Amino acid sequence: MTQRVLRPTGMGFLLLDSHPDGCARVVDEMITEAGPPASDRAAAEQAGPRTLVLGCSSGYGLAAAVAGIYRHGASVIGLCFERPATARRSATGGWYRTGALAARAGARFRPVSGDCFDPAVRAAVLDQAAAAFGQIDVLIYSVAAPRRTDPVTGEIYQSAVKPIGAGYRARNLAFPDGRPPELREAELEPADPAEITSTVKVMGGEDWASWVTDLAGRGMLAPGFRTVALTYLGSELTAPVYRHGTIGRAKDHLESTAGELTSGVLAGSGATAVTSVNCAAVTQSSLAIPGISLYLSLLHQVAGDRMESEVRQSVRLWDHLTGRSPAVADDQGRLRLDDWELDPAVQARLRELWTAPDGAVLAQLTDPGWFRERLLRLYGFGVSGVDYDQATEVDLAWPA
């Protein structure tokens, strides 16, 4: 037993500890948000889709697991790669969130901690899925990783968030201790060819294709099997460092993989592979995007109540997957759930704020602490109903 009083200490957007009680409360709030109306409750309590969620411990992957379980009665095996508590630090927020969801969902959520890029881990997860479900109805791919080891060559690839062709200056909203938020500028050098290739290897569709191919090879694709990889298109304001940069190349590869899977290994089975373009959100992975703190703060201000959480986006995705309310697809076959973010009126107002001088941007921010509050919640801090002055048990076991 290891009890500690935990504080949100760290550097920049990276905190050293996560709070287990706060992380559990966040999961409770997500469950409440995802829960169906009374008229749909009986259907949600029945056996639903047999599902694999890859990247299930945070952001859209966690939201997809919650929405599937509590909105449509899905049974989920979730894979993530999280770190337990050590002598010096608490476990990661993902470790605690995954444990909280397992405790609440019971047999409908079976989490596994391991590297999704490792063929041995993939084989073990599919063995478990075969024993538990027989076949899989839905595979949701929501993986954002900093590195990947090639299973054949052993080479380690590192992802990079950089522009291509020309440098880029990004303004970030920073939160110095004890002082009001301020803007800080960072200049990014363009990526070299090796960095582009490495980012595609980590963040592209190669691993997604391996999972689907192995499922097909084992005869585990249920009739009407659907698989969706979560992606992001984003605004033209962030395009130089995101969609037109290294990550954009990886997303292009991910999206082309959907078509290759549907016309290849899934052909003739009635199964489909698509990508879902979701909206910007404060997540562990989005924090790596230069300028995202400013962009999201301004988006929150402009969009207001139209801004959808990861759970609300995931409810819309599951409504599509179950045929309740099909999502709109674009001319490339991508599901478009980013309609409110890319609304022309929203983007026009964002452009006005985005290009204003530093002083004007800060003066027009009506809720400058919003991003910091959302950041803290990723680590279980600043959550209503948690007494942060009390010691809490940090050495929690992985769910059996």
Question: What is the C-alpha to C-alpha distance for residues 174 and 176, in angstroms, rounded to an integer?
Answer: 6
Question: What is the C-alpha to C-alpha distance for residues 149 and 202, in angstroms, rounded to an integer?
Answer: 9
β-pair partners for 138? 51, 226
Locus of tokens 């298109």: 233
SS (H, E, C) 196-246: HHHHHHHHCCHHHHHHHHHHHHCCCEEEEEEEEEEEECCCCCCCCCCCCCH
- Answer for the pair 95, 396: CB distance below 8 angstroms, yes or no: yes
Rounded alpha-carbon distances, angstroms, from residue 258 to 63, 94, 312? 22, 28, 24
The 3-state DSSP class for residue 393 equals strand
Question: What is the C-alpha to C-alpha distance for residues 236 and 239, in angstroms, rounded to an integer?
Answer: 5
Neighbours of 360 (CB within 10 A): 12
Kindly name the residue from 242, 295, 379, 388 that is annotated as catalytic.
242
Q: Is 295 a catalytic residue?
A: no
β-pair partners for 345? none
Question: What is the C-alpha to C-alpha distance for residues 87 and 233, in angstroms, rounded to an integer?
Answer: 41
- Answer for the pair 177, 234: CB distance below 8 angstroms, yes or no: no
* DSSP label of 329: B
Q: Tell me which residue of 344, 378, 400 sits closest to 19, measured CA to CA.
A: 378
Tell me the residue type at 31. Answer: I
Q: Tell me which residue of 57, 33, 59 sits closest to 231, measured CA to CA.
A: 59
Residue 292 Cα to chain centre, angstroms: 15
Q: Tell me which residue of 371, 281, 358 sits closest to 63, measured CA to CA.
A: 281
Token representation of residue 238? 């962030």
Tell me the residue type at 148. Answer: R
Q: Give me the half-sphere count of Cα atoms (radius 13 Å) on the Cβ side of residue 399.
A: 26
Q: Give 102's contacts (C-beta < 8 A, 6+ positions apart).
A: 109, 110, 111, 399
The total number of residues shown for the chain amounts to 400
The 3-state DSSP class for residue 380 equals coil
Q: Which residues are catalytic?
A: 242
